[in-house]
Amino acid sequence: MEKIIVVGAGFSGATIARLLAESGKDVIVVDKRDTIGGNAYDCIDKNGIRIQPYGPHIFHTHDKEIFDFLSKFTEWNKYEHRVKAKVRKDKVVPVPFNLTSLFELYPKAKAERIKDVLVKEIGLDKKVPILQLKKHESAEIREFADFVYKNIFYIYTMKQWGFKPEQLGEAVMNRVPVYVSEEDRYFTDEFQYMPKNGFAEMISNILRHPRIQLKLRTDAMKRLTFADGVIYLDGKPLDGMVIYTGCVDELFGYKYGVLPYRSLKFKFKTLKTPSYQESAVINYTTSHKFTRISEFTKFACEPQENATVIVKEYPQKFKKGKNIPYYPIPIEKNRQHYAKYEQEAKTYKNLYLLGRLAKYKYIDMDDAVRYAMDLYTEITGDTVDINDIANN
């Protein structure tokens, strides 16, 4: 019988597995970790605080279909994410940089003048990418943009990616624009929530289906081999398909070299205090080796009386076998490198690449669900109708 093997039990793997199972197909999902949810995995620590061992994840989307799909598998806590940047020892301002940040950092009269120019040239309530602002025809705006670039973007981006903002280009830099408004939410999407009992439970519910068989602690690369357009399972040609959400260079034995990724080292600390910092996340944009401090109790909407947990993030170079590949680095040279693997994948008619690592793309959790829905349509020819999906 035709086998469908999904490699990876993160957002991408779980969504595609569930959609295929709903359409009557039997699916095997394997993950080499002993946890589900991929990098969105979360758990409760010894103090009863929900933490995210692979880094803080906040759900947000403008796409109602994605929100409705996930709502079948979780209840939600309303949560609007707010981030601040520690620019100087005594100055913590909202990011994305907004009019409040402007008045915090400039003398009042100058701030008023810059605000007037921004409103006139860009428009009130508009968002504008920093790289665009830096090229603006007004000298006053360019001067302001240089100030924001220096204090908010440059050092943070160098720490996070090891590249200057200009080298990364718009796809990355546009994620955090400058707001010509007092909007202080990090995301402006219509749907901003945290799953009430966490991401891992939500994904566990997505995977709970009689046609899905889940195998954790199972490294697909120990059983699957890929050679000359044929996929082998335990040495025999596979009758079926593989949907792969891991690193594409690993899939092909690194034959075109290791793809560059950015890794992270997390330093967690439990503190005997109900609150550590004024905002859920504080970015360190001009100092320190870490990029940001996140405080988990502030995401959970259930502050504890006597304890809180913070995590500092130290970006690092990825070293194969030594640390985890978290972020594909979206620069042209790397995209060309990835294209070789993508071409190779196309020679296997029963292999589908999906997700952040296999597609070598900087995607959020909602994008992962959307790409899985698109792949479902590509494989089956059907569009997803979420009304047909049972609640868990």
Ligand X SMILES: Cc1cc2nc3c(=O)[nH]c(=O)nc-3n(C[C@H](O)[C@H](O)[C@H](O)COP(=O)(O)OP(=O)(O)OC[C@H]3O[C@@H](n4cnc5c(N)ncnc54)[C@H](O)[C@@H]3O)c2cc1C
Residues 263-292 that bind ligand X (CB under 6 A): 264
* Contact flag: residue 31 with ligand X (CB under 6 A): yes
CA-wise closest residue to 148 among 94, 81, 184, 187: 94
Residue 148 sits in the site that holds ligand X (CB under 6 A): no
Q: Is residue 38 at the binding interface for ligand X, with CB under 6 A as the rule?
A: yes
Does 220 bind ligand X (CB under 6 A)? Our answer is: yes
Q: Which of 16, 20, 21, 30 binds ligand X (CB under 6 A)?
A: 30
State which of residues 195, 328, 330, 355 lies at the interface with ligand X (CB under 6 A).
Answer: 355
Considering only the stretches 31-39, 106-114, 277-285, 331-339, report the one whose residues sit in contact with ligand X under the rule CB under 6 A. Answer: 31-39
Smaller CB separation from ligand X, 32 or 312: 32
Which stretch, 53-61, 96-104, 290-298, 379-387, contacts ligand X (CB under 6 A)?
A: 53-61
Q: In the numeric block, which tokens belong to residue 178?
A: 């400058």
Q: State which of positions 371-390 bind ligand X (CB under 6 A).
A: none
Q: Which stretch binds ligand X (CB under 6 A): 51-59, 109-117, 267-275, 375-383?
A: 51-59
303, 297 contact by CB (below 8 A)? yes
Tell whether residue 356 is a contact of ligand X (CB under 6 A): yes
Judged by beta carbon, residue 41 or residue 153, the one nearer ligand X is 41
Using the minimum distance from each CB to ligand X, give the nearer residue, 117 or 221. 221
Q: Taking the complex as a whole, how short is the minimal distance between the CB of residue 186 and ligand X, in angstroms?
A: 9
- 35 or 304: whose CB is closer to ligand X? 35
C-alpha distances (whole Å) from 83 to each of 79, 266, 278 are: 13, 18, 10
* Piece in contact with ligand X (CB under 6 A), picked from 52-60, 169-177, 292-300, 314-322: 52-60
In the complex with ligand X, which residue's Cβ is closer, 273 or 377?
377
From the list 33-41, 82-90, 134-142, 303-311, the region that binds ligand X by CB under 6 A is 33-41
Task: Find the binder of ligand X among 23, 26, 33, 185 (CB under 6 A).
Answer: 33
Spatial CA neighbour of 35 closest among 248, 199, 249, 196: 199
Residue nearest to ligand X according to CB distances in the complex: 38
SS3 of the chain: the string is: CCEEEEECCCHHHHHHHHHHHHCCCCEEEECCCCCCCHHHCCEECCCCCEECCCCCCCEEECCHHHHHHHHCCCCEEECCCCEEEEEECCEEEEECCCHHHHHHHCCHHHHHHHHHHHHHHCCCCEEECHHHHCCCCCHHHHHHHHHHHHHHHHHHHHHHHCCCHHHHCHHHHCCCCEEECCCCCCCCCCEEEEECCCHHHHHHHHHCCCCEEEECCCCHHHCEEEECCEEEECCEECCEEEEECCCHHHHCCCCCCCCCEEEEEEEEEEECCCCCCCCCEEEECCCCCCCEEEECHHHHCCCCCCCEEEEEEEEEECCCCCCCCCEECCCHHHHHHHHHHHHHHHCCCCEEECHHHHCCCCCCHHHHHHHHHHHHHHHHCCCCCHHHCCCC
- Does the protein bind ligand X through residue 96 (CB under 6 A)? no
* Closest to ligand X by CB, 184 or 249: 249
Q: Does 249 bind ligand X (CB under 6 A)?
A: no
Which range touches ligand X (CB under 6 A), out of 24-32, 131-139, 151-159, 274-282? Answer: 24-32
x/- site string to ligand X, residues 57 to 76, per CB under 6 A? xx------------------
Positions in the binding site for ligand X (CB under 6 A):
7-13, 30-33, 38-40, 55, 57-58, 219-221, 245-246, 264, 326-327, 355-357, 363-366, 368
